[in-house]
Amino acid sequence: MLAVDSLEVVYAGVVRALRGVTMSVRAGQVVAVLGGNGAGKSTLLRAVSGTLGMHGAKVTAGALRFDGQDLAGRGAADIVRLGLVHVPEGRRIFGRLTVEENLRAGGMSVRGRAARAQARDQVYELFPLLAERRHSRAVLLSGGEQQMLAIGRGLMSAPRMLLLDEPSLGLAPQIIGKIGAAIREINAQGVSVVLVEQNAAMALALSEVAFVLELGRTSLSGPSAELAASDEVARRYLAVA
């Protein structure tokens, strides 16, 4: 469904953030992307979602295909319409707007009031806490609720694939468990998920397949259960989770 082939990305014309990333995601899968700070995980998601430009970066080599369509040269809005939605690191919600207004902003590309209302109701079903707080300003939510809102906002455009950048960042274990359960539920409803995480234990538990990035390259990949059992992965990634 998503195919990334030998991808290279450069920031500001000089910083070679990706130097050959190859990965693929099949329809219905949850795929984890692991790696330390600066390995290139966020850059990979930005490349897929067509948002490199707003960070001063661009693809310099390689190919990106989604559902057989070439993503090269497509704008971010166009890529959302194809069904690929990116929930960036740091949530990026609108703090001064209410929960409901944030969701509405996420659904702007969806045609039809009824379809938008249905998407919103599904988000509230998935995250009942958001329904309770629908009229609160987003800035007043806890970190976990803000992450739920960021994911919910992404779901408003009815994606077929969700790109999640570090959804567990800064959250308490109990809340991470709730986010993990929501990711499982979203996937059970037919949405494929690319899960970027420094929390390797969480990501390996949720995913079927995992890719490890190191210095902008895919250094390791395989079934998540195998990576979770590998001594090397345990030593390098699980200890810091």
Which C-beta is closer to ligand ATP: that of 38 or that of 75? Answer: 38
Which C-beta is closer to ligand ATP: that of 123 or that of 203? Answer: 203
Beta strand segments in 41-148, E: 57-66, 69-70, 84-87
Which C-beta is closer to ligand ATP: that of 35 or that of 62? Answer: 35
Residue corresponding to tokens 């966020």: 42
Which C-beta is closer to ligand ATP: that of 56 or that of 128? Answer: 56
Beta-sheet strand order (sheet of 161-165): 84-87, 161-165, 192-197, 30-34, 209-214, 217-223
What is the spatial distance between Cα 167 and Cα 162, in angstroms, rounded to a whole number? 12
Smallest gap from residue 235 Cβ to ligand ATP (A): 19
Smallest gap from residue 44 Cβ to ligand ATP (A): 7
Pairing of strands 69-70, 57-66: antiparallel
SS3 assignment, position 222: strand
Smallest gap from residue 94 Cβ to ligand ATP (A): 22
What is the spatial distance between Cα 86 and Cα 226, in angstroms, rounded to a whole number? 27
Q: What is the DSSP letter of 140?
A: G
Smallest gap from residue 213 Cβ to ligand ATP (A): 6
Smallest gap from residue 174 Cβ to ligand ATP (A): 23
Pairing of strands 15-25, 2-11: antiparallel
What is the spatial distance between Cα 141 and Cα 32, in angstroms, rounded to a whole number? 27
C-beta of residue 158 within 8 angstroms of C-beta of residue 190: no
Which C-beta is closer to ligand ATP: that of 102 or that of 147? Answer: 147
Which C-beta is closer to ligand ATP: that of 130 or that of 212? Answer: 212
Smallest gap from residue 128 Cβ to ligand ATP (A): 30
Q: Which residues bind ligand ATP (CB under 6 A)?
A: 11-12, 15, 17, 35, 37-43, 55-56, 198
Report the Cα 176 to chain-centroid distance in Å.
15
Which C-beta is closer to ligand ATP: that of 17 or that of 162? Answer: 17
Beta-sheet strand order (sheet of 69-70): 15-25, 2-11, 57-66, 69-70
Token pair recorded at residue 119: 């998407």
Smallest gap from residue 194 Cβ to ligand ATP (A): 13
